[in-house]
Amino acid sequence: MIVVVLVATVLLLALLALSDQMKRSTASAPTNTSQLDATRRARTAGPAVVSVETTRADGTIAFGTVMLLTPAGEMLTNNHLIAGGTAIAVRVAGTPRPYAATVRGYDTGNDVAVLALADGTGLPTIRLADSRSAKAGGTVVAVGRANDATHDLTAEPGRIAMLHQRIDAASASLPDMMILDAPTRPTDSGGAIVDAGGNVIGMTTAAPAGARFAQQTSAVRSFAIPINTVIAIADRIDSGHSTKEVHVGPTATLGVAVAARGLVTRVDTRGPAARGGITVHAVIAAIDDVPIATMTDLHAALDTHAPGDAVHVDWAGPDGVFHSSMLRLAPAPPA
């Protein structure tokens, strides 16, 4: 009798172990399928999702992603990637060298910028979907480019958690956003959110390195701008008519880089600041009465201005003498 009980117990334990193994195998299958599907979707959109490098006045480089909209090289990306840039380089797979890009226009409130290549031709383009078809719970893939020498395509599967949300960013609130349960990284900024067919329904807006959005409660919570909104801004820029929200033309620059407490660390000798007498080791205290302590403050103060605008700059020279100057902003990056 004891032997029978022991045999039955062993058989029961074996069956329970086998059942548990089967459950684990079944649970892991969707993850593998999801990643395989994500790779497939990314490859569909991938040729038209390329990397961008923006060199800023302080010598730092911002890395991100752009989407090619036309064969001639009109492109879409986030405004925060190119704000304050002095040079923009775009790397397209299969080309021997990076392209130089210029800013055609931007919308700071929606964090959208439109770029153009001077000599683009025959380039791959993204396939657009109607973002009004997006539904909460729908599966998506965030497609971007890695920040390394290979600029490899990245693909992160996820789902749409919420639609039509207002997201609080560092210096503004972004309206009508998608919230995604999908991990993204800063270099995914400007990249594609694609549907089951590899069509673009949104543009990733990832927080800059070291920053988080107020609603970013976990490492896998990300945000995107509906592609219909992005295309409407691009159409407005293509029309050549600026509005209160949309600026047509390049970003504006003062031609300086600042460190902590507004200390000037670099000056473009051809820029407005140099023409106004500002030199390295000067301190910029305020622009239009807005205090300046970091490059982020400087970008925020200039974001609402266009080249040609005059701004009131309060600054002190290395000798400690205080100055108050009206300086006319120049376009950036330079032609």
Q: What is the DSSP string of 178-223?
A: EEEES---GGGTT-EEE-TTS-EEEEE-PPPTT---TT--STTEEE
Lowest mean pLDDT among 51-60, 72-81, 132-141, 256-265: 51-60
User: What integer is the mean pLDDT of 69-76?
Assistant: 96
Distance, CA of 288 to CA of 25 (rounded, Å): 62
User: What percentage of the chain reaches a pLDDT higher than 90?
Assistant: 50
* Amino acid 212: pLDDT: 64
* Amino acid 26: pLDDT: 36
Element of type H or E holding 57: none
* Amino acid 129: pLDDT: 96
User: What integer is the mean pLDDT of 50-66?
Assistant: 88
* Amino acid 334: pLDDT: 46
Peptide bond into 186 cis (omega under 30): no
**Residue 83 scores a pLDDT above 90:** no
State residue 82 phi and psi, 5-degree precision: -110, -5
Distance, CA of 226 to CA of 224 (rounded, Å): 6
* Amino acid 10: pLDDT: 43
Identify which has the larger pLDDT, 220 or 103.
103
Please tell me the pTM assigned to this model.
0.78
CA 186, 190, 191, 196 torsion: positive or negative? positive
Lowest mean pLDDT among 14-28, 227-241, 279-293: 14-28
Identify which has the larger pLDDT, 159 or 270.
159
CA 3 from centre of chain: 68
* Amino acid 120: pLDDT: 84
User: What integer is the mean pLDDT of 267-279?
Assistant: 91
pLDDT band at 25 (very low <50, low <70, confident <90, very high): very low
**How do residues 174-199 score in pLDDT, each as one tens digit?**
889 999 999 888 889 999 999 999 99
**Residue 43 scores a pLDDT above 90:** no
Nearest partner of 256 among 327, 321, 322, 335, judged by Cα: 327
* Amino acid 6: pLDDT: 42
Identify which has the larger pLDDT, 217 or 135.
135
Identify which has the larger pLDDT, 215 or 72.
72
**Residue 19 scores a pLDDT above 50:** no
